[in-house]
Amino acid sequence: MKIKLIHFVPPIFILIYRKIVPKKEKVGIWAGDFASWEEAQLNCSGYDSDIILEKCKNALLKVKNKEAVYERDSVLFDKIQYSWGLLAGLQKATIENNNELCVLDFGGSLGSTYYQNKVFLSGLKKLEWNIVEQVHFVDCGKQNFENEQLKFYHTIEECTQNSKPNVLLLSSVLQYLENPNQWIEKFNNLQIEYIIIDRTAFIDSDEDILTIQNVPESIYKASYPAWFFNKEKLIKKFKNYIFIAEINNSFTQDAIINNKKAEWTGMILKINK
């Protein structure tokens, strides 16, 4: 199965938007509560994936060439913003696997999380970081970023034929999938030792909510469907796994969506043998 998703993370837009737009002029970035993905798409303007790719590539090349410190979603920062819970999960999986780490980074763009954390993973006996992405991201990744540790694949099947991941990383990706439940079922069947979910949209609601995410035109014009999940129900869908710990990102601020509290957090799951 190939990925069909959007490459933007809500917290980034919040932080940029707060800097660009005066407080009194702010409007909601998310809108609606739609019955289906198709209905939400009818109310979206869409996006230019080529522009997204080019921005991500140019920013991450600066990080790769040590001209910048850190990139996330095409935005450069002067210091790395670590997800310490993510790092703890990676290190736990490594300790339990003879100091070897093999990651399947599903929807991992051009390697942002790899570059973000590699200083903490440099002493491992073995490190493999495999990204499964859309075709144009994979082609760009192979041409500009692939190395002995970092590899790019079009499908999960292609990745697992060449590698044996002990961690499946889902960072800011589930909420942009048209059918997240189908993908979760597929993830369950992979039987990978650890699943780490990071920077994922949750809401204080009994049911999942499907919204439209509107990117402020001061950044660029785009809108697309975005899920907000009920956290407890999402955990139960990973039926082959047990909950180990929650991941809280201090640099990600909560929001109010449809008069309900929303947050971007994550969790560490381990296979239940």
Residues whose CB falls within 8 Å of the CB of residue 164, separated by 6 or more in sequence, listed in order: 102
Residue type, 203: I
Write out the two tokens for 154.
């079009």
In a domain, 1, yes or no: no
Q: Is 11 helix (H, G, I), strand (E, B) or coil?
A: helix
Q: Is 166 helix (H, G, I), strand (E, B) or coil?
A: coil
In a domain, 131, yes or no: yes
> Do 100 and 124 contact (CB within 8 A), yes or no?
yes
In a domain, 133, yes or no: yes
In a domain, 62, yes or no: yes
By CB atoms closer than 10 A (0-12, 13-18, 19+), residue 89 is buried
Residue 10, pLDDT score: 42
Q: What is the span of the domain harbouring residue 194? A: 10-201+209-271
| Residue 263 φ/ψ, nearest 5 degrees | -145, 160
Residues whose CB falls within 8 Å of the CB of residue 47, separated by 6 or more in sequence, listed in order: 6, 215, 222, 223, 224
Residue 25, pLDDT score: 29
In a domain, 5, yes or no: no
Supply the CATH number for residue 118's domain.
3.40.50.150
In a domain, 76, yes or no: yes
| Residue 86 φ/ψ, nearest 5 degrees | -60, -45
As for how many domains the chain has, the answer is 1
Residue 198, pLDDT score: 95
Residues whose CB falls within 8 Å of the CB of residue 162, separated by 6 or more in sequence, listed in order: 130, 151, 153
List per-residue pLDDT tens for the chain, 273 residues long. Answer: 545 544 444 444 444 433 333 333 233 488 899 999 999 999 887 766 787 788 888 888 888 888 888 777 666 777 888 899 999 999 999 999 999 999 999 999 999 999 999 999 998 999 999 999 999 999 999 999 999 999 999 999 999 999 999 999 999 999 999 999 999 999 999 999 999 999 999 999 999 999 999 876 655 567 889 999 999 999 999 999 999 999 987 667 888 998 999 999 999 999 998
In a domain, 66, yes or no: yes
* Residue 154 CB coordination number (10 Å): 16
In a domain, 233, yes or no: yes
Residue type, 216: P
Residues whose CB falls within 8 Å of the CB of residue 203, separated by 6 or more in sequence, listed in order: 209, 228, 229, 230, 257, 260, 261, 262, 263
Residues whose CB falls within 8 Å of the CB of residue 6, separated by 6 or more in sequence, listed in order: 47, 176, 213, 224, 226
Rounded to whole angstroms, the Cα distance separating 112 from 270 reads: 24
In the beta sheet, which residues pair with residue 191?
none
